[in-house]
Amino acid sequence: MLKSVEVRLDEFHEDSNMVEASDGSMEEKVINEEYKIWKKNTPFLYDMVMTHALEWPSLTVQWLPDIQKVTI
């Protein structure tokens, strides 16, 4: 009796691991689909969009050049 309970628990853990794995891949699919929709609608949402692939890991981005005040 005890062995059958242990086997069932092991089967339960394997099944739950499979569900977690499929949830992760399903979440990734949803994220990719949302990105595709956003990318398609960007001309309607923004005046200008510039995209550029960066090498990973790119931890910093400089948006605007430094401002230098000139006194006359």
Give one word for 68, left, alpha or beta, with left for phi > 0 and alpha for psi -120 to 50. beta
Greater confidence (59 vs 28) lies with 28
Q: Please say if the pLDDT value at position 24 is more than 50.
A: yes
Average pLDDT over residues 30-43: 90
Give the containing element (helix H, strand E) for 17.
Answer: helix 2-45
Question: How many residues can be counted in the chain?
Answer: 72
15, 8 Cβ separation under 8 angstroms: no
